[in-house]
């Protein structure tokens, strides 16, 4: 463990934590935060080079980390990854269902391909990953599943029929699984981020970014670390009585 880190205060020490979409944006920030908290980090994403870099960054913090190229829409890839991780470490303590995409268009303009692709990644992918780890967690008698929703999944958003539907759906997953799995010792929660400063925003004009900031009472965009911090808390024993919740991390955007 990194000598700069006090092992007495590590909230996720040796927790085997599988994070999807972990090579960029919120997922990478979450992987690094979990590493700082002492977790064994399993980086899953679709690009090998990005996965390798994220693993190296986690290892540099002083923890064990492994990387897998995983397309969450491909159940065989998900199952193979979970099997390998379970065989190596003997458990899976935390799943962070972070992987997600957007393909925006107004209802009248949205193609079936745009609709299907977002549903496939953001909804079916979350189902695949959760189902793949659940038997392991039930056998352990413990585990944490954390799902990425969005404020769009609570309030809707112009031009995001597909995305909003998936993020509403993720809340449905969270509420249902927390009921089913709570008696087995497994907690399931979701986070609903607001406007977060990630590479996805790089194509948005400065004027629009400023308008987004103006809508938030805190008058700024969130950082990926703001989301990662909440994931780390929810994954830890400090959140042991939090189950079935959706926590908005949005700077008061929806007030």
CATH of domain 7-249: 3.40.50.720
Residue 252 sits at the vertex; the CA angle it makes with 251 and 255, to the nearest 5 degrees, is 165
* CA-to-CA dists, residue 190 to 50, 89, 128, 249, angstroms: 25, 26, 16, 11
Residue (of 239, 115, 150, 222) closest to 186 by Cα position:
239
Q: Is the pLDDT of residue 1 over 50?
A: no
Tokens of 251: 């700077």
How far, in Å, CA of 122 to CA of 102, rounded?
Answer: 9
* Whether residue 241 lies in the annotated active site: no
Query: Which pLDDT does position 3 carry in this prediction?
Result: 43
Contact 41, 19 (CB under 8 A): yes
What's the whole-model pTM score? Answer: 0.95
* DSSP type of residue 246: E
Span 2-51, pLDDT tens digits: 444 456 689 999 999 999 999 999 999 999 999 999 999 999 999 999 99
Span 180-225, pLDDT tens digits: 999 999 999 999 999 999 877 777 889 989 999 999 999 999 999 9
The rounded mean pLDDT for the chain is 95
How far, in Å, CA of 162 to CA of 116, rounded?
Answer: 8
Query: Which pLDDT does position 4 carry in this prediction?
Result: 46
Catalytic residue, candidates 155, 163, 231, 241: 163
If you search the block for the tokens 């970014």, which residue do you land on? 209
How far, in Å, CA of 84 to CA of 88, rounded?
Answer: 6
Span 118-164, pLDDT tens digits: 999 999 999 999 999 999 999 999 999 999 999 999 999 999 999 99
| Cα within 13 Å of Cα(21), Cβ side | 21
If you search the block for the tokens 């938030």, which residue do you land on? 216
């Amino acid at each position: 463990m990194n000598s700069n880190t006090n092992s007495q205060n590590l909230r996720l020490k040796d927790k085997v934590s599988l994070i999807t979409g972990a090579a960029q944006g919120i997922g990478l920030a979450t992987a690094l935060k979990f590493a700082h908290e002492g977790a064994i980090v399993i980086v899953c994403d679709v690009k090998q080079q990005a996965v390798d870099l994220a693993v190296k960054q986690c290892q540099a913090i002083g923890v064990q980390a492994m990387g897998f190229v995983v397309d969450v829409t491909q159940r065989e890839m998900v199952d193979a990854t979970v099997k390998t991780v379970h065989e190596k470490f003997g458990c899976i303590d935390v799943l962070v269902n972070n992987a997600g995409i957007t393909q925006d268009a107004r209802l009248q303009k949205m193609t079936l391909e745009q609709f299907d692709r977002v549903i496939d990644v953001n909804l079916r992918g979350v189902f695949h990953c959760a189902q793949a780890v659940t038997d392991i967690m039930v056998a352990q008698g413990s585990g944490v599943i954390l799902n990425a929703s969005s404020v769009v999944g609570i309030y809707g958003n112009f031009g995001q029929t597909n995305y909003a539907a998936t993020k509403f759906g993720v809340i449905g997953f969270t509420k249902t699984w927390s009921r089913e799995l709570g008696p087995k010792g497994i907690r399931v929660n979701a986070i609903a981020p607001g406007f977060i400063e990630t590479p996805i925003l790089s194509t948005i004009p400065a004027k629009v970014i400023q308008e987004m900031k103006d809508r938030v009472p805190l008058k700024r965009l969130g950082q990926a670390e703001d989301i990662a911090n909440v994931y780390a808390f929810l994954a830890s024993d400090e959140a042991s009585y939090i189950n079935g919740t959706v926590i908005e991390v949005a700077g008061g955007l929806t007030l």
